[in-house]
Amino acid sequence: MNVQNYVRKRFLPHLWCPGCGHGTVLNALLRSVDELGLSKEDIVMVTGIGCSARMAGYVDFHTMHTLHGRALAFATGIKMSRPELNLIVPMGDGDALAIGGNHFIHASRRNLDITAIIMNNHIYGMTGGQFSPLSGPGTTATTAPRGSIDPAFDAMDLAKAAGATYAARTTTFHVRELQKMLTGAISHKGFSVVEVFSQCPTYYGRKNNTGDAPEMLKAFRDETAKIGSKTLDENPELIPRGVFVDRDAVDYGEAYAELCRNAAKEAPRC
């Protein structure tokens, strides 16, 4: 397959920095779309604001680049209006869980059939390296020169508690796993979340002395382990990867369609 079939070549080169992990996420996403045999016309990509959000410009789908944190709210409107479309919503960590936190938990609760991708680079890249609610204590950032004291969200715990029916986490090191999870999320009926650790060598890397992009990828390899693996059992301090939630529940769109069908049987009200 050729992922370039799904790319708007005239808008390349992209603006992501050398070594950025976001291109890897895009690559895996396009392979997953191809694997699922989806037509470009059936996909709507809605993004918010930030480095992640620029993805909307590069893909040859129906694309909407919206407001910081609000992508899921726009996507909800589109999905309610056109249930047959596949909604894919890539977001950054600040986009999804700081300014967009409320929309995220309610989208999870509603279980409308949308796929959210949290491209978690643990930092605000586009604005120049400020800490996010996923950075975690000790992270050095341009707004935390002495190290952040802010506790971090665990996106998987949050998604699960809020009611998401599919939630998975991986990293840009684990590209095949990433593609598999994206395929799982897009084909899942209901609200699905894939969190991808994505390296930001420019801001997170430089501020935190992690080394360059390959070093950061190696760290993703070494600091994470699959759920249920022996490695994770023996090293509980590692960050778990894998599918955290995959369950069936009533999809909001279907519930609404049923509500409409039943209501249509009533006598008109006004």
Partner 1 sequence: MKDIRFIQGNEACTLGALYAGMDFFAGYPITPSSEIAEMLSGELPPRGHTFIQMEDEIASLCAVIGGSLTGRKAMTATSGPGFSLMQEALGYAVMAEIPCVIVNVMRGGPSTGLPTQVSQGDVNQARWGIHGDHAIIALTAGSHQALFENTVRAFNLAETFRTPVILLYDELIAHMRERLEIPSEGEIPLVERLMTSVPRDVDYRPYLAREDGRLPMSDFGGAHRYNVTGLYHDMWGFPSTDPSVVRGLLSHLVEKIEGRENELTFTREYETEDAETLLISYGSAARTARQTVYEARDKGIRMGLLELETLWPFPERKVRDAVAGVNETVVVEMNLGQVFEQVRRVARSPERVFLANRIDGRFITPPDIRKVLRIIAGKGVWA
Q: Judged by CB under 8 A, does residue 4 bind partner 1?
A: no
Helix (H, G, I), strand (E, B) or coil at 97: helix
Task: Give the binding range for partner 1 (CB under 8 A) out of 27-35, 185-193, 225-233, 260-268.
Answer: 260-268
Q: Judged by CB under 8 A, does residue 160 bind partner 1?
A: no
Peptide bond into 13 cis (omega under 30): yes
Q: Judged by CB under 8 A, does residue 189 bind partner 1?
A: no
Report, in Å, the least distance between residue 163 CB and partner 1: 13
Cβ neighbors of 6 (< 8 A, separation 6 or more) are 30, 33, 34, 40, 59, 60, 61
Q: Judged by CB under 8 A, does residue 13 bind partner 1?
A: no
Cβ neighbors of 234 (< 8 A, separation 6 or more) are none
- Please select the residue that binds partner 1; options are 36, 85, 238, 239, rule is CB under 8 A: 85
Q: Judged by CB under 8 A, does residue 233 bind partner 1?
A: no
Beta-strand ranges (E) seen in 149-191 are 166-171
User: Which residues ranging from 91 to 110 are in contact with partner 1 (CB under 8 A)?
Assistant: 102-103, 106
User: CB burial class (10 A; 0-12, 13-18, 19+) of residue 41?
Assistant: exposed
- Which residues would be at the binding site for partner 1 (CB under 8 A)? 11, 40-41, 44, 46, 56-57, 60-67, 70, 73-82, 85, 102-103, 106, 256, 259-260, 263-264, 266, 268-270
